[in-house]
Chains A and B, each alone.
Chain A
């Protein structure tokens, strides 16, 4: 169940980023999970529910955005959505193809409540 280890990594980063930005109460965490990331969203959510309780005493929502797998053919440049795990170029049929989307677990944004006005969004 490596989702637990990934959630621990995620929460560690959230805590650091929020602390660096002036602190506050974490209300929502948005994460992109690719279909080829090896992460099972339900297991990720349940690990989050369990661990977030320890890390953030206040209620914190996890928003998962599931991203389909997209690839680009290295020969003909065709971009296509990968269906049924078939990584063959639908245009030229030869491949090889490069995965350009769908293998990521990406922390997208953190919503924070604080008493005082601080710096605001950073990129």
Chain B
């Protein structure tokens, strides 16, 4: 019997990360900013997307890939507003790139300005998977407690923006914007923090302006001329 030790020293997700980087490059080059939206279930991802679509109606193009374990309820909500495809994971707790690519194909690979990936509601597993996004945004609603960043550090560490949703409920819930911001900035000092309410549209204009600024920085400034390839 011969025993040998194979030295490998390789990130086990190296291949997936390379695939995601190539897809990110392809989508960026042809003028699409990809935004991965992550949060707990019920924090208001679909409502934020509805408000975003209404705000941009006729001015900026967007499409949405919606991840859920079962049903196409969120996709049905968004379908009257924007091109949308449902990604049903059948029990899996997160999305992976091949499923996203299948969703893009189902949509006919549209050359939109903004492609949103509404990830499965979960603050743990989705943080470990690169879906070719240019921007990772974590949502936290005022009803779920302001201590979440410290509990789910990887999610907040790997995000570039945090959107506090349902701000209209602040008078009724024990949630402090200052506390959640302080907690999150310890983990990710460069996090952009925004506050919104999709019901009364407060903060939606600022959210859309933030995305347009990101588009300028990550797409227009990087790939010139934008959208012509």
- Chains A and B bind each other: yes
- A-side residues, CB < 8 A to B, are 1-2, 5-6, 9-10, 13, 17-18, 21, 24, 27, 31, 36-39, 85-88, 95-97, 99, 103-118, 120-123
Q: Are A27 and B3 in contact (CB under 8 A)?
A: yes
Closest to B190 in A: A96
Q: Are A122 and B6 in contact (CB under 8 A)?
A: yes
CA distance A107 to B10 in the complex (A): 5
B13 within 8 A of A: yes
With A18-B6, A112-B3, A121-B5 known to touch, is A2 a contact of B12 (CB < 8 Å)? Answer: no
CA distance A16 to B127 in the complex (A): 27
Q: Are A121 and B189 in contact (CB under 8 A)?
A: no
Closest to B153 in A: A85
Contacts of A9 in B (CB 8 A): 12-13, 16
Contacts of A110 in B (CB 8 A): 5-6, 8
Q: Are B186 and A88 in contact (CB under 8 A)?
A: yes
Contact code string B119-160 (vs A, CB < 8 Å = 1, else 0) = 000001101110000000000000000000010011001000
Q: Are A86 and B186 in contact (CB under 8 A)?
A: yes
Q: Are B7 and A2 in contact (CB under 8 A)?
A: no
CA distance A107 to B15 in the complex (A): 13
Q: Are B188 and A87 in contact (CB under 8 A)?
A: yes
Q: Which of B16, B96, B125, B157 contacts A36 (CB 8 A)?
A: B157
State which size class the interface on B falls in: 20 to 34
Q: Are B154 and A38 in contact (CB under 8 A)?
A: yes
A2-B125, A31-B12 provided; 19 other pairs, C-beta below 8 A? A1-B125, A2-B94, A6-B12, A9-B16, A13-B10, A36-B153, A38-B124, A87-B186, A95-B190, A96-B190, A106-B10, A107-B9, A107-B11, A111-B3, A111-B6, A112-B6, A113-B2, A115-B2, A116-B2
Q: Are A108 and B7 in contact (CB under 8 A)?
A: yes
Closest-CB distance, B213 to chain A (whole angstroms):
19
Closest-CB distance, A108 to chain B (whole angstroms):
6
Q: Are B189 and A108 in contact (CB under 8 A)?
A: no
Contacts of A121 in B (CB 8 A): 4-7
CA distance A27 to B5 in the complex (A): 10
Nearest 9 pairs of A and B residues by beta carbon = A2-B125, A95-B189, A85-B153, A38-B128, A38-B154, A110-B6, A107-B8, A86-B186, A10-B12
Q: Which of A96, A104, A113, A122 contacts B11 (CB 8 A)?
A: A104
Q: Which of A2, A37, A85 contacts B186 (CB 8 A)?
A: A85
Contact residues of B between 75 and 134, Cβ < 8 Å to A: 92-94, 96, 124-125, 127-129
CA distance A14 to B220 in the complex (A): 41
Closest to A14 in B: B8
Q: Which of B1, B2, B92, B189 contacts A87 (CB 8 A)?
A: B189
B187 within 8 A of A: yes
Q: Are B93 and A97 in contact (CB under 8 A)?
A: no
Q: List 29 A-B contacts (CB under 8 A).
A: A1-B93, A2-B129, A9-B12, A27-B3, A31-B12, A36-B154, A38-B124, A85-B150, A85-B153, A85-B157, A87-B157, A87-B187, A88-B189, A95-B190, A104-B11, A107-B11, A107-B12, A109-B5, A109-B8, A110-B8, A111-B5, A112-B6, A114-B2, A116-B2, A120-B4, A121-B7, A122-B6, A123-B7, A123-B9
